Amino acid sequence: MKKIIFTVLVFSVFLAAGIAIAQGAAKNSQQDDLEYTIPEQDGTYDVPGRPELKVRVFVHNPKAKPEPIVSPALTCGLSDPNSDAIVDPGGWYLPKGTWVYRLNTNSVPFSVGSGNLSNIAQLGFSAWSDAISNKVTFTAGSPTSATRANLDGQNIIAWGRTSGSALAVTYTWYYTSGLLKGQVAEVDTIMNLKFNWSWTPFNLKNLCASTNSYDAQDILTHELGHWVGLNDEYTSAYTDNTMYGYGSKAEVKKDTLTTGDASGVSAIYR
């Protein structure tokens, strides 16, 4: 009899352990669905386990392939041309009110300066906020250590590794149905560490930029245009727009919006 009881007890323990393992595996599987690998290619994609969401991926490419890092040289006297070409909406918008973003200051290249990221982000957000009459207020939250895009409740700006030759990649998760249709759920921007970066504070009286690197504010301001709901533009009519789809070295003109950029975003937030 004791033998039978012992056998039953052992079987019960193994059965309970098996159930716990199965439940854990199911939970891990669900978690994996949320932490799926997002394609780093331009396009709109489904979100596993979240049928109410889509994620739009924007890849901001340079006009030329990456070049060897060389010592920076400053050039001044650059222009800040205007453009009346109106940028198209992407199909999403930020909810009116306060939008909290988080910065990974530890990821910032030395050539830009970790202490400058807060100011760079504020300047970039301010350009867009002014264009929509401050209907969305951008506020810095606590710092983040994330260097990869993930649907995790953070809206991050960080430097990290991206595949291919992208200068930066922005991921916009937005609702596609129901009362929240078109509203953004989360946005992440990853700037590519593969490239040589710098930052020259914008000065209308004496526009300057490094000839051998990409300006952090210039490229980030472009990326933030996707946050507020704008598409990339690639035709020659848009070469002076902030939302022109290619980035260039020694470029700072994207620090400020053109008439066409401002008109495009203001139409979204009427």
Q: In sequence order, what E strands does 7-89 have?
A: 43-46, 53-62, 74-76
Could you tell me the two tokens for 1?
């009899």
* pLDDT in the model for residue 207: 85
Look-up of token digits 């595996």 = 25
* pLDDT in the model for residue 217: 97
For helices 216-227 and 117-131, the axis angle rounded to 10 degrees is: 50
pLDDT averaged over 10-residue windows placed end to end, the chain, 270 residues: 40 40 39 62 95 97 63 81 98 97 98 96 98 97 97 97 89 97 98 95 79 96 98 97 96 96 97
* pLDDT in the model for residue 34: 43
Nearest to 266 by CA among 93, 98, 141: 93
* pLDDT in the model for residue 44: 97
* pLDDT in the model for residue 40: 86
Nearest to 186 by CA among 157, 151, 220: 151
Residue 105 to residues 91, 141, 157, 190, 248, Cα–Cα distance (Å): 31, 12, 9, 12, 24
Distance, CA of 82 to chain centre: 25
* pLDDT in the model for residue 205: 60
Boundaries of every domain in the chain: 35-268
> Is residue 138 helix, strand or coil?
strand
* pLDDT in the model for residue 4: 41
CATH of span 35-268 = 3.40.390.10
